[in-house]
Structure 1
């Protein structure tokens, strides 16, 4: 049997080299193993990535050229440090496991791995200031710590950062195109899944399970999906009705598109647009699985795609700063120059949507003011008030005032047990 640590090191290497999600990497590397092994590998991978800056803080103090190491060895060391510093594995056992693996994979580096881990065992966090201390002890980039303190105040920023360290709850969205709410609930409860209702009739929080609900046949058959609570609300904010013409300008992988189709009872017309052939291929498979029949899928640029519709959704590509709890690897790949380019794309998509639809829902899985309230200011959007149990928007940030703060919606991990989302409803341009 291959040790969990070895498989997890391969997963982390794939995530680092290919820039793919942990879920995708685990499926590729560990897909042939049973669900218990896959679960263990996923846990090791995600918990190591969650703490990556602190783990690398220890390793760089021990190995000056740490970043130049063989990628597999680098990630094997990270997993061993995770075990000894954060998983309560005795340091000698963590070191021994890593040494056994490296003997098999690259025996010339046994001495290096053994020496590095014995040195790391003696180290503690060494921070030079309060921001670095928070960053290293709560496993977030320093820029994010500074930004959230400025956005929310120190106390709430720390609550958000702590919440990002917890695995978020799973939510079930019943797909009423293929199954009834009552039938799906009975099916899952009979299999030991305990659920509780949310403010949306078809969405339920998973309280406990013996086997994850994503492992059951009805999930594969599309009778329910696993989808974040705030993500589900985006489609409700659009309020699509049977007979509407709806355009989704950043549609792949199709979760919100399929939800919109369900709310429309598979009637009317949905045009789902995405600029990636690979994502469109996956979306077509997902749409078919979920029994959606009123969607036309188009390869196109959401910034320029010409259309006329009743309603449009811009669930924009974004920094994903609201998804750090479920996708911790995203924390370490943020780039300000790329961020500025993303904001520019969001504004183009938003302007295009407002030009083509009577009503527009604009959403991101980001906490950043620039991607959210700032974009609505930039395009001069006319904001319609949304009601929900979530929070309201940000009134002011870095001298920029957002007057419609009480009309838009924000969700936060520390307040709502969901990803961080921004959701707004807008009137289209007068034509």
Structure 2
């Protein structure tokens, strides 16, 4: 891959802004949306996107190279955050496996330092150049010689936080941990969900869609258990999003596991259903497709920006009754609904995203402290959901996290108020049986709750519990 100096500058700007403000994806889209002329240059757009996302995904290994070479840089200031972003880009280009066979010209980048850092004086250019020489002397073999720990090596090899690798090693043999980490990095094959409110002619609708997709060179297999899920044997989404069924809102790209969550709620007629964390509306619209004509779904979200996307998707994907509510569910603020008023609830809770690191690579580096923060929000959501759910009402709780603090431990706190139900799907005994401290979870959790794993189920990692309110 060749990379120009303007591209280097754009990457440095996006990386340094993400260091101080928000996620790498948000900064990337924000940068190009404010530079529409640049966005039209597809080669530049794709190159910058690929490199910024990959650097974010492999940040721990890249930063380990910088640390190992003793590049002493304080990233607290904006100038120094640009410096660290420059060194991260260089470490990626020169020391990642895919570039080792044909790395770019180091001398070229060294010569261009004054152009890249035109805002600094010549003295700083000399310092940056000397640090650059130091970075280029890194040896992978030297690093391995000085780091015999299997946990640390796996962390660096598969670009996962060390605490996360150590967490998994409490439950699985190290060989299985390695296989999981490998698969947890891989993009998943696409699944499609058929969008239709019409239950009477549904089979014919699906058959027609499959034929239309074939004409677009998209071969799909219909799921044997859930008829509205189609599996595509490809990770390439471009043919899908340019096909007529997609453009006509007859299908939407949605993973099988996400679609299954709506099915487990088993929407019926004459029901009031609450989706407590709805945006962008994929599950809400799916529930609307599945429910009866006389039912209604209420979709809640905390974000005003996401509410507009939620509303737009519901209007596009269903003609059933729905309402959208902006409320802060799960943040110690009660929902604006009466107690015991909902027939069914879905809590697809915000989480650490440890089960979909391939999709959101920058979430890896939020730190394990985030799990405790999310667990508090999840518990508040579940307690508030139980308040508004009728006695005997049905609920589904789900998270795309592989940590038991966000799954088994959350359900464990309300076992006296709910009856866990058999979801009639997935593998019994797939959950974690105990905590790291060897505290056993209830047999009911092990029997009725479900987990999916990337290395076993070839899908995103989810925890799912279906329950009935008993008090």
Normalization by structure 2: what TM-score?
A: 0.81
Counterpart for residue 351 of structure 1: 383
Give, in whole Å, the separation in 2 of the partners of 1:82 and 1:360. Answer: 46
Checking the alignment, whether the CA contact within 8 Å between 2:5 and 2:116 is kept in structure 1 is no
Give, in whole Å, the separation in 1 of the partners of 2:151 and 2:117. Answer: 39
Counterpart for residue 106 of structure 1: 118
Q: Structure 1: where are the runs of 5+ without partners?
A: none
Counterpart for residue 461 of structure 2: 420
Alpha carbons of structure 1 residues 210 and 329: separation in structure 2 relative to 1, 3 Å: closer
Counterpart for residue 313 of structure 2: 286
Residue from 246, 267, 277 that aligns with 1:250? 277
Q: Structure 2: where are the runs of 5+ without partners?
A: 34-38
Asked if 1:366 corresponds to 2:366, the answer is: no
Alpha carbons of structure 1 residues 150 and 192: separation in structure 2 relative to 1, 3 Å: same
Asked if 1:168 corresponds to 2:188, the answer is: yes
Alpha carbons of structure 1 residues 76 and 219: separation in structure 2 relative to 1, 3 Å: farther
Counterpart for residue 36 of structure 2: none
Trace 1:268-307 onto structure 2 (pairs within 5 A). 268-303=295-330, 304-305=334-335, 306-307=337-338
Trace 1:136-155 onto structure 2 (pairs within 5 A). 136-155=156-175
- SS across alignment from 1:225: strand
Alpha carbons of structure 1 residues 48 and 186: separation in structure 2 relative to 1, 3 Å: farther
Give, in whole Å, the separation in 1 of the partners of 2:352 and 2:257. Answer: 16
Counterpart for residue 191 of structure 1: 216
Give, in whole Å, the separation in 2 of the partners of 1:174 and 1:99. Answer: 55
Alpha carbons of structure 1 residues 387 and 66: separation in structure 2 relative to 1, 3 Å: farther
Counterpart for residue 88 of structure 1: 99
Checking the alignment, whether the CA contact within 8 Å between 1:258 and 1:290 is kept in structure 2 is yes
**Alpha-carbon shift at residue 211 of structure 1 (Å):** 3.0
Give, in whole Å, the separation in 1 of the partners of 2:218 and 2:109. Answer: 35
Counterpart for residue 64 of structure 1: 72
Give, in whole Å, the separation in 2 of the partners of 1:47 and 1:8. Answer: 11
Counterpart for residue 325 of structure 1: 358
Alpha carbons of structure 1 residues 168 and 292: separation in structure 2 relative to 1, 3 Å: same
**Alpha-carbon shift at residue 384 of structure 1 (Å):** 0.4
**Alpha-carbon shift at residue 100 of structure 1 (Å):** 4.4
Greater shift, 9-18 or 352-361, is seen at 9-18
Counterpart for residue 375 of structure 1: 410
**Alpha-carbon shift at residue 365 of structure 1 (Å):** 0.7
Counterpart for residue 229 of structure 2: 203
Question: Which structure has the bigger radius of gyration?
Answer: 2
**1:34-87 CA deviation, whole Å, 9 max, x = no partner?**
666544433322222221100011123331115355334432332332222222
Checking the alignment, whether the CA contact within 8 Å between 1:99 and 1:110 is kept in structure 2 is no
Alpha carbons of structure 1 residues 205 and 36: separation in structure 2 relative to 1, 3 Å: farther
Checking the alignment, whether the CA contact within 8 Å between 2:216 and 2:239 is kept in structure 1 is no
**Alpha-carbon shift at residue 314 of structure 1 (Å):** 0.8
- SS across alignment from 1:295: strand
Alpha carbons of structure 1 residues 427 and 45: separation in structure 2 relative to 1, 3 Å: same
Alpha carbons of structure 1 residues 413 and 115: separation in structure 2 relative to 1, 3 Å: farther
Two-structure CA RMSD over aligned residues (Å)? 2.9
Asked if 1:399 corresponds to 2:438, the answer is: yes
Checking the alignment, whether the CA contact within 8 Å between 1:270 and 1:296 is kept in structure 2 is yes
Give, in whole Å, the separation in 1 of the partners of 2:454 and 2:222. Answer: 18
Give, in whole Å, the separation in 2 of the partners of 1:344 and 1:175. Answer: 35
How many residues are paired up? Answer: 428
**Alpha-carbon shift at residue 360 of structure 1 (Å):** 0.6
Checking the alignment, whether the CA contact within 8 Å between 1:320 and 1:366 is kept in structure 2 is yes
- SS across alignment from 2:186: coil
Normalization by structure 1: what TM-score?
A: 0.88
Counterpart for residue 121 of structure 1: 136
